[in-house]
Amino acid sequence: MSPLITPAELADLGEVTLLDVRGGITGPPGSVLYAEGHLPGALFCDLDADLAAAPGPEGRHPLPSAAHFQAAMRRLGVSAGRPVVVYDDAGSTIAARAWWLLRYHGHPDVRVLDGGLPAWRDLGLPVVKEESSAAPGDFVAVPGGLPVLDADEAAALAASGVLLDARAAARYRGEVEPIDPVAGHVPGAVSAPTTDNVDPDGRFRPPADLRARFAALGARDGVAVGAYCGSGVTAAHEVLALELAGVPAALYVGSWSNWVADPSRPVATG
């Protein structure tokens, strides 16, 4: 089963748990966007409150504890026996974090709405402003469903396999750093911006195109692959794109914000 779902497929899916995960580092809060209009039945899922622990040395968006994540998902009506569809309006960059966390914690049926809310609107499908509600779910969060990396493992992978840097190329090169205190990249990492995973309309490129893209970067069958970004959010988008390409990949959850928290770790530029 594909990790993606089209708006037309979603409209015909039947019973499903819908999570609106819009909002992020810049722009209006996701709760404001949700109140302005969302898919019928969707509940708002907050990146910072529901999909991450408090920022600190582990990064700006560390993994939430299994107990915290389970409570958040149950509050949003998530159950193991019902499909979950997540969406945003930013090329699935935030939705991929929710997809990854649910998969990591053992949910068997999670999909990302390809193209998000804009694609839904493009088909003339309904959008509502009324806040949705759901009966509490019974989801049990069991960590370990997808591979993860810590800083040492990311460094080793950059040397022995392929570690993809999902941030903008200028951040990778160390020319700008709008968020974290140090600019640059993990030595040996390869620049692979998530913007190249999607078409201009925010839909993922076809799997064959993604396979060719990642193969050109060295990520192919038989090679250990991992991904990181600034705080482990858009890197989940890279992992999703790699899955579409048929390439399994680990996520460095702490990402650059965790890497630079230790001044003894080396930093590369250029």
Same domain? For 28 and 86 the reply is yes
Q: Could you tell me which residue, 27 or 9, shows the higher pLDDT?
A: 9
For position 14, what pLDDT does the model report?
84
State the pTM of this model.
Answer: 0.96
For position 24, what pLDDT does the model report?
73
Whether residue 8 contacts residue 16, with contact meaning beta carbons closer than 8 Å, is answered with: no
For position 237, what pLDDT does the model report?
98
pLDDT tens digits, residue range 15-29? 999 999 998 777 789
Structural domain count, the chain:
2
pLDDT tens digits, residue range 206-250? 999 999 999 999 998 899 999 999 999 999 999 999 999 999 999
User: What is the pLDDT of the chain when averaged over all its residues?
Assistant: 96
Separation between Cα atoms, residue 174 and residue 185, nearest integer Å: 7
Catalytic residue among 72, 112, 164, 229: 229
For position 28, what pLDDT does the model report?
84
Same domain? For 99 and 192 the reply is no
Any domain includes 134: no
pLDDT tens digits, residue range 40-82? 999 999 999 999 999 999 999 999 999 999 999 999 999 999 9
Same domain? For 161 and 67 the reply is no
The arithmetic mean of pLDDT across residues 111-127, rounded, is: 97
Same domain? For 156 and 209 the reply is yes
Same domain? For 87 and 49 the reply is yes
Does residue 45 carry a catalytic annotation? no
Same domain? For 50 and 158 the reply is no
Separation between Cα atoms, residue 257 and residue 57, nearest integer Å: 8
For position 163, what pLDDT does the model report?
98
State the residue range of the domain holding 101: 4-122
CA 74, 31, 3, 225 dihedral sign is negative
Question: What is the layout of strands, in order, in the sheet containing 4-5?
Answer: 4-5, 110-113, 84-87, 17-20, 43-44
What percentage of the chain carries pLDDT values higher than 90?
A: 96
Provide the CATH number for the domain around residue 249: 3.40.250.10
The residue assigned the tokens 């019902």 is 82
> Three-state DSSP class for 6?
coil
